[in-house]
Each structure stands twice: as C-alpha cells, then as structure tokens.
C-alpha cells in the first residue's frame, strides 16, 4: 500500500564542491515529493558518528573514512540536508539515487551519473545520502532536524522550557 512517508536526503560535500546541488534537486523533483525542511550545515563529529552508528558495526573498515567524508575531510565542510515528504518517499528517492557503489549504479541514477570511487582512498564518493527505510528515516530526520526547522509537524513533539546560550543578530 502506498503511504505518505518522509525521508532524509543529504547532498554530501562532493556534491556541493562539484556544484551538483541544482542537478540533484532537479533529478529529485521528478518524484513530485514535497520538501518540508532544508538546511546547509557543517557536520559536527558527534552528528556524523550518530548518523553512521550502524555502519560502525556493519562495515567497521569504512566507518572512519565515511565520517571523514561526511565532515568534509575530502572536499568541503558543508552538506545540504533536506526532508522530502510524500507517497512512498523512501523508495522513490532511493530509486533515483541508486545503490551505494557508484560503479554498480545505473548511469541514469544520481550516484551512477555523478559518483566515483576515489582511486586513492577507495571511498565511494556517491554525492548523496538517503534513508534506507521508514524507520531509519524517522531516526535520521530527528537526528538532523529540530521540530521547529521543519515546516510541518511530521512527528509527535513535546514542549520543554530550556534556557541556553545562543547567537543572535546584533
């Protein structure tokens, strides 16, 4: 059954340094899904490690380089994180992105078109991350975005009173 879902997309540092943002967003717009959150950020180590928490156990040999890659150690230290919402969002986006290994990806997919295996580091520089299931999507969106950063209240929230230091415009 087709369902309204949300999924996390990250245009990785190689996508940004290669000026692929426009091309990638255009390719993703074929899905007719709605963007409900977007931000550009420098990925802190803690966020990268939490994001790849499972990779640490599933593929320990690539974990350090995947962290370095996401934090910008090979390209530029920025990523564009987005939340897409709509019918079958998870699989629709995954299909357009293609599989992890860009050499195995169909050349019409984003990873097949723009990715490469770095011959020096062996890293799959596949320009984009997307959530692999509805469950991981929810965890990843909650990790990358605060409720107030999304234009729809897609998951349950609770109100807390918090005092903290932050920068404001002067």
Query: Which residues are marked as active site?
Result: 129
Q: Which residue is nearest to ligand ADP (CB)?
A: 100
| DSSP line for 34-82 | EEEEEEEEPPPHHHHHHHTTTHHHH-TTTHHHHHHHHHTSSS-S-EEEE
Binding to ligand ADP (CB under 6 A): which residues in 55-114? Answer: 55, 59, 62, 66, 69, 100
C-alpha distances in Å from residue 62, one per residue of 67, 105, 109, 122: 9, 19, 23, 9
Q: Examine residue 134 and tell whether it contacts ligand ADP (CB under 6 A).
A: no
Binding to ligand ADP (CB under 6 A): which residues in 146-165? Answer: none
| Burial of 11: CB neighbours in 10 Å, binned 0-12, 13-18, 19+ | buried
Q: Examine residue 51 and tell whether it contacts ligand ADP (CB under 6 A).
A: no
Which stretch in 15-23, 77-85, 119-127, 152-160 sits in contact with ligand ADP by CB under 6 A? 119-127
- Around Cβ 78, how many Cβ atoms within 10 Å? 16
Nearer to ligand ADP, 142 or 153 (CB): 142
Residue ranges binding ligand ADP (CB under 6 A): 55, 59, 62, 66, 69, 100, 122-124, 126, 129, 132
């Amino acid at each position: 059954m087709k369902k309204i879902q949300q999924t996390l997309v990250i245009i990785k540092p190689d996508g940004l340094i290669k000026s692929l943002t426009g091309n990638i967003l255009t390719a993703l717009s074929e899905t007719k899904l709605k963007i409900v959150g977007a931000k550009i950020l420098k990925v802190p180590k803690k966020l990268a490690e939490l994001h790849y928490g499972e990779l640490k156990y599933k593929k320990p040999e690539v974990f350090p380089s995947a962290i370095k890659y996401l934090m910008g150690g090979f390209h530029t230290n920025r990523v564009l994180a987005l939340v897409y919402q709509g019918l079958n969002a998870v699989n629709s986006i995954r299909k357009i992105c293609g599989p992890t290994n860009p050499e195995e990806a169909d050349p019409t997919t984003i990873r097949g078109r723009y990715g490469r295996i770095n011959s020096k580091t062996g890293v799959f520089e596949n320009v984009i991350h997307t959530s692999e299931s509805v469950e991981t999507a929810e965890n990843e969106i909650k990790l990358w975005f605060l409720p107030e950063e999304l234009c729809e209240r897609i998951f349950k929230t609770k109100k807390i009173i918090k005092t903290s230091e932050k920068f404001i415009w002067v």
